[in-house]
């Protein structure tokens, strides 16, 4: 027997992240043909009575229960209704679009067995801005979140259309569709696999990449403000360590700091900087290496079939394989790793922030305030950053080790891939606030520099970007608003003092 052939990847993590943020999604002709062919195989399985999980049997611990042919369509609808149990606050529009795009990418491999019509409906939801309401909590790895998307396909649930929350049936009508009647296997296929975890992971990668670029640039500004010793990041010294990320970050720092008259004056003033200043290439570089690992895992997941069961063979000789590809252990481990890496970068940023505010090591006014005592300056900003770093530490515990037992011992090991992706997103969001706070402090510190020496062109651009957004802080307005605005820039804009793009691409 020849193994099932899996096509090359149609999508990579950057594609899914772009679709999440509003880019259109289109299927290639080859993908459409694969989907149609897989449906013919499912039809043959049904006609021949080949035993297949979720086609003519129950699901989970009911996998040995035979479902008569006349009830198999009802099974699809019942699966969707009974599995839509997510709870809590709703996912954002980009998050929901990401999981829908990842689901379509999985179906495009041609081993799920859904009708082309179902995929057309999902594409229409994306194309016409109809976003199902999907609660964030309640998944141990898969099924529950996509079930809420599937509710809208059958005219149930709720969806956001043009800013208005509507019933599933009304939402479909708004985009010219009628509720879909699910056919055999479609109820299971539309909710199964790792699309939720993988789609959210694609968003996490996009946001983490942007954050890490900002972290490098802001660290360089702090390095200049604190009079960092350039030999610690010299090309010769960095070449003695084999980490690819370390060498790349050191090069970025040198590029941003090139031409700094302030650093020239500071050279030789101390033998060795504190680790939060001296070890930026080592920590940020390790985070970049972790990022590259996570990106490669997610791209492999998108290139893989993660449904259960998988259909293959031919309509004449249909085959079906029950697998555990939907478990998503690789996604969970990758997102746990990325979350820890980002959390460490933020933790180091908070330490540099503290040094900028501490006159014992900065040589600047206490807490960067105009008049100590009368003004508190950025004192409490460091408190907030410390709180976020502590929250990150709590969130960074590995979801992949949470375990658990579900479905009457049938599913007795759980990877918690979707929770791993969700907590990575939370850590990235927290870290944007920490990096934003360091940016505010480093810019204020740069303004308070006593000498006449100029900044590096790279740090000058970073300083000017914040000053175009915010004036110097003088206890004259709520500080939290300033920090929110800085964090928003870090979340939404790419930093451009130098080219700091990660090499990961597709």
DSSP per position, 27-47? --HHHHHHHHHHHHHHHHHHH
* Burial of 411 from C-beta contacts in 10 A (0-12 / 13-18 / 19+): middle
Query: What does the alpha-carbon distance between residue 305 and residue 325 come to, in Å, rounded to a whole number?
Result: 7
Mapping DSSP to helix (H, G, I), strand (E, B) and coil, where does residue 375 land? strand
The reply to whether 449 belongs to the active site is no
Beta-carbon contacts of residue 218 (< 8 Å; ≥ 6 apart) = 349, 435, 438, 439, 442, 462
Q: Contact 369/376 with Cβ under 8 angstroms?
A: yes
Q: Which residue(s) pair with 164 in the sheet?
A: 161
Closest to 139 measured CA to CA, from 186, 90, 83: 83
Query: What does the alpha-carbon distance between residue 376 and residue 474 come to, in Å, rounded to a whole number?
Result: 9
Query: What does the alpha-carbon distance between residue 11 and residue 503 come to, in Å, rounded to a whole number?
Result: 17
The number of beta carbons lying within 10 Å of the beta carbon of residue 47 is 11
Closest to 93 measured CA to CA, from 134, 59, 61, 123: 134
Closest to 99 measured CA to CA, from 421, 484, 444: 421
Q: Contact 263/194 with Cβ under 8 angstroms?
A: no
Q: Contact 215/345 with Cβ under 8 angstroms?
A: yes
Q: Which long-range contacts (CB under 8 A, 24 or more apart) does 268-274 make?
A: 268/229, 269/227, 269/229, 270/227, 270/229, 271/229, 272/229, 272/232, 273/226, 273/228, 273/229, 273/232, 274/351, 274/355, 274/361
Beta-carbon contacts of residue 372 (< 8 Å; ≥ 6 apart) = 365, 366
The C-alpha R_g of the chain, in whole angstroms, comes to 26
- Selecting among 11, 53, 142, 473, the annotated active-site residue is 53
* Burial of 408 from C-beta contacts in 10 A (0-12 / 13-18 / 19+): exposed
Closest to 199 measured CA to CA, from 27, 16, 71, 67: 16
* Burial of 398 from C-beta contacts in 10 A (0-12 / 13-18 / 19+): middle
The number of beta carbons lying within 10 Å of the beta carbon of residue 456 is 24
Element (H, E) at 4: none
Residue 13 token pair: 């993590």
DSSP category for residue 61? G
User: Would you name the residues annotated as active-site residues?
Assistant: 53
């Amino acid at each position: 027997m020849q193994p099932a052939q899996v096509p090359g990847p149609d999508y990579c993590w950057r594609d899914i992240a772009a679709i999440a943020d509003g880019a259109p999604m289109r299927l290639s002709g080859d993908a459409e043909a694969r989907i149609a062919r897989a449906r013919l195989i499912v039809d043959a399985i049904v006609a021949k009575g080949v035993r297949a999980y979720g086609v003519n049997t129950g699901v989970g611990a009911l996998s040995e229960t035979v479902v008569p042919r006349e009830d198999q369509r009802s099974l699809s609808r019942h699966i969707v209704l009974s599995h839509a149990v997510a709870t809590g606050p709703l996912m954002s529009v980009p998050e929901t679009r990401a999981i829908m795009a990842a689901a379509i990418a999985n179906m495009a491999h041609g081993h799920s067995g859904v009708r082309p019509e179902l995929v057309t409906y999902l594409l229409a939801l994306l194309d016409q801005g109809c976003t199902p309401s999907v609660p964030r909590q309640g998944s141990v790895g898969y099924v529950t979140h996509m079930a809420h998307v599937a509710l809208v396909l059958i005219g149930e649930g709720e969806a956001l259309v043009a800013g208005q929350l509507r019933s599933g049936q009304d939402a479909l009508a708004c985009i010219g569709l009628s509720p879909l009647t699910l056919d055999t296997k479609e109820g299971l296929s539309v909710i199964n696999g790792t699309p939720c975890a993988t789609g959210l992971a694609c968003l996490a990668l996009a946001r983490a990449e942007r954050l890490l670029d900002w972290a490098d640039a802001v660290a360089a500004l702090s390095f200049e403000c604190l009079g960092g010793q350039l030999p610690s990041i010299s090309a010769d010294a960095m070449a003695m360590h084999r980490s690819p990320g370390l060498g790349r970050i050191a090069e970025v720092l040198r590029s941003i700091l090139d031409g700094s008259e302030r650093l020239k004056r500071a050279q030789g003033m101390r033998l060795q900087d504190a680790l939060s200043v001296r070890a930026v290439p080592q920590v940020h570089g390790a985070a970049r290496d972790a990022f590259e690992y996570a990106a490669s895992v997610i791209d492999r997941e998108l290139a893989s079939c993660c449904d259960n069961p998988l259909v293959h063979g031919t309509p004449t000789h249909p085959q079906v394989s029950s697998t555990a590809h939907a478990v998503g252990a690789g996604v969970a481990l990758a997102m746990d790793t990325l979350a820890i890496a980002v959390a460490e970068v933020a933790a180091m940023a908070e330490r540099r922030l503290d040094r900028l505010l501490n006159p014992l090591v900065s040589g600047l006014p206490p807490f960067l305030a105009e008049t100590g005592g009368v003004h508190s300056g950025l004192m409490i900003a460091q408190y907030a950053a410390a709180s976020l770093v502590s929250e990150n530490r709590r969130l960074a515990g590995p979801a992949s080790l949470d375990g658990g037992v579900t479905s009457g011992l049938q599913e007795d090991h759980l990877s918690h891939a979707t929770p791993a992706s969700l907590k990575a997103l939370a850590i990235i969001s927290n870290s944007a606030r920490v990096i934003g706070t360091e940016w505010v402090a480093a810019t204020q510190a740069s303004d308070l520099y006593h000498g006449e020496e100029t900044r590096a062109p790279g740090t000058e651009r970073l300083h000017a970007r914040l000053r175009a957004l915010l004036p110097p802080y003088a206890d004259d307005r709520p500080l939290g608003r300033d920090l929110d605005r800085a964090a928003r820039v870090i979340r939404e804009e790419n930093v451009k003092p130098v080219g700091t793009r990660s090499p990961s691409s597709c």
